[in-house]
Amino acid sequence: MRTYRTVNLNVLWFIIALNVLIFIITLIRPEETIYFLGLRPASLSQHPWAIISSMFVHGSVWHILFNMISLYFLGSFFIRAAGERNFLAVFFLGGLAGNILFALLANPFSTGIGASGAVFALGGALAVMVPRVPVFIFFIPIPVPLWVAIIIFFLLSFLPNIAWQAHLGGLLLGLIAGLIFRRRRRVYYF
């Protein structure tokens, strides 16, 4: 990707570092961290901060690795396309929308953790803003349009132990955000 303006990715690196820091804490004290920061619909009134904090908690090395790689690529692309403030808005509102849908549709005693609702919001917005941008998916040897990649990853959300509700909520918010940004007819340099 080529861009002619200077891009500052500090906010993206800060969010990634915060996720890694909380993951390290989770490795040291897993039950306490997930209990205190994870989103459990049945106990949301006792832990209202979990609607946001759960976006920064991950349960395994693969969970955080996949989410942070996706966050880096989609986030850096989104920042170049729409700026830092819009990135932060879509990231947090997408994560919030995903967590709200999780709280409404998931088993009340299940626990939701991870940044994937926020990541799906970024992917959904980009899929509307620049749908034909070619991307590589690690298990497909040729580039596919971004919108196809987002659909593939959303379908994978229905595998066991994945919070499809959070992915759907984030994706829906991202699609709406993408329409808003696209209507502004901003010039993208890619």
Residue 119 has pLDDT above 50, yes or no: yes
What band does 1 get if pLDDT is binned at 50, 70 and 90? Answer: very low
Which pLDDT does position 2 carry in this prediction? 47
Give me the DSSP letters along 16-49: HHHHHHHHHHHHHSHHHHHHHHSB-GGGTTT-TT
Give yes or no for a contact between 56 and 22, defined as CB atoms under 8 angstroms apart.
yes
Select from 51, 53, 157 the least CA-distant residue to 98.
51
- C-alpha span between 162 and 9 (Å, rounded): 29
pTM: 0.91
Which pLDDT does position 138 carry in this prediction? 78
Residue 186 has pLDDT above 60, yes or no: no
pLDDT digits (tens, 9 = 90+) for 135-162: 888 778 889 999 999 999 999 999 999 9
Which pLDDT does position 4 carry in this prediction? 52
What band does 173 get if pLDDT is binned at 50, 70 and 90? Answer: very high
- C-alpha span between 169 and 15 (Å, rounded): 20
Instruction: Please state the rounded mean pLDDT for residues 94-115.
Output: 97
Residue 48 has pLDDT above 70, yes or no: yes
Longest CA–CA separation in the chain, Å: 49
- C-alpha span between 165 and 171 (Å, rounded): 10
Lowest-confidence region among 2-16, 75-89, 109-123:
2-16
The set of residues, in sequence order, having a beta carbon less than 8 Å from that of 97 and lying 6+ positions away, is 117, 121, 169, 170, 172, 173
* Residue 7 backbone phi and psi in degrees, to 5: -120, 130
